[in-house]
Amino acid sequence: MNKILKLNETDLDVTVQGGLGWEELRDYLSDYHLLYSPDPGPSATIAGGLANSCSGTNAARYGTAKENVLSITVVLADGTIIKTKKRARKSAAGYNLTGLFVGSEGTLGIITEATLKLWTKPKFENIAVISFPSIADAASTVTSIVQNGIYANALELLDETMMRFINESGETTSKYDVNPTLMLKLGGDSKETVKLLTNSVKKICAQNNSKTFRFAETEDEKEELWTARKVALWSTINWGKANIDPEVNVWTTDVAVPISNFVKTISETQDDIKQSGFISSIVGHAGDGNFHALILYKHEDYQKCRDLVQRMVDRALVHEGTCTGEHGVGYGKRGYLEEEVGEDTIALMRKIKLALDPERILNPDKIFKIDPNDHEP
């Protein structure tokens, strides 16, 4: 269940079995200079990523998992195997079943095969790392870039705590300015295009008080700069173990809001974390208005941490956002989901669930409780 079945280079699609690791697919496609854009956590499988509608650092440019799949094969609760579509890029033929299963967290069927959309990797791409005096300046830069119709291939925001953890992690050879930082991927089909794009971005950064603008000159440097982004989670955990408690836990959570509310949501969250006495790094897929808090907490502070997360979600909902931009609901965010979309919308999801899985055998009680009168499991 982890095979690559067929690559169609001309059509920019690939058919794979559900159990394939996305990193294996990434490495395989790299030889063809092609990209499957979702980049979830390292151990994720393709079907797992689809079931959770994953995204990652490339989503602002290329969309999330649900925009990058053409067709899936699904085993339904009664054992029937269906295929949702053929291989055409565009289709208006019947209900969008692909879109329904993607993000349903295994509650409606099991994805066994998928035909995925691929992208030609930009011929030229560079990484820019830009620091700012405040998180508000960094976030405002993102808004301006989006507003100006400039398409960066990734638009990542890391707060000053995150930058400190990266510096102290020893995972990167060079040290970074310990300030709120944007990491951008800027690509194009010629060096000149990338240069023009970079100049436009540089100008916007300067207008938003950027302090340093660092640019990769070599392939190694590119790799090095992006590594800093990729080690976010582990450097937070390691810092916590070394500096707080060897048994420290990390509560990873994410929300997303419309970009106009990004600055205040992220700033208020940062303030709340400090006032609550927690240490947390914040890293955001800023182009999507989506950010993660990686909150370090000791076992005895579990409830206090939970309250902090509740306030973070409430804040996102007040700002017209969502309780989860990419992590999904599972058991943990069921209550938040109901706050977000309301009882009637949940009731509709429940109708679909029961129509497709009347015996309630598939990941029962994930996303919402099948019987709303059930007590907490």
Touching its own copies, residues 93-152 (CB under 8 A):
93-97, 99-100, 102-104, 108, 119-123, 143, 146-150
Q: Are 218 and 192 in contact (CB under 8 A)?
A: no
Q: Residue 92, interface with its own copies (CB under 8 A)?
A: yes
Q: Residue 180, interface with its own copies (CB under 8 A)?
A: no
- When binding is defined by CB under 8 A, the residue of 30, 174, 190, 212 that contacts its own copies is 190
Q: Residue 174, interface with its own copies (CB under 8 A)?
A: no
Quick one: 95 or 217, whose CB is closer to its own copies? 95
Q: Residue 284, interface with its own copies (CB under 8 A)?
A: no
Residue type, 223: E
Residues in 335-374 at the binding interface with its own copies, rule: CB under 8 A? 336-337, 340-342, 344-349, 351-352, 354-356, 367-368
Angle among Cα 140, 146, 147 to the nearest 5 degrees reads 85
Residues in 196-235 at the binding interface with its own copies, rule: CB under 8 A? 196-197, 200
Q: Are 262 and 180 in contact (CB under 8 A)?
A: no
Quick one: 240 or 321, whose CB is closer to its own copies? 321
Q: 3-state class of 172 per DSSP?
A: coil
Residues in 291-330 at the binding interface with its own copies, rule: CB under 8 A? 316-317, 320-329
Q: Are 71 and 48 in contact (CB under 8 A)?
A: no
Q: Please, which residues bridge with residue 55 across strands?
A: none
Residues in 45-64 at the binding interface with its own copies, rule: CB under 8 A? 52-55, 59, 63-64
Q: Residue 88, interface with its own copies (CB under 8 A)?
A: yes
144 to 208, 265, 287, 320: CA distances (angstroms) = 9, 17, 10, 20
- When binding is defined by CB under 8 A, the residue of 58, 167, 236, 290 that contacts its own copies is 290
Long-range contacts of 135-139 (CB under 8 A, 24+ apart): 135/159, 135/160, 135/180, 135/263, 135/266, 135/267, 135/270, 135/282, 136/263, 136/267, 137/180, 137/208, 137/209, 137/210, 138/180, 138/181, 138/182, 138/208, 138/286, 139/262, 139/263, 139/266, 139/267, 139/286
**Stretch of 156-164, 187-195, 219-227, 266-274 lying at the interface with its own copies (CB under 8 A):** 187-195
Quick one: 108 or 136, whose CB is closer to its own copies? 108
Number of residues that bind its own copies (CB under 8 A): 98
**Stretch of 126-134, 154-162, 227-235, 332-340 lying at the interface with its own copies (CB under 8 A):** 332-340
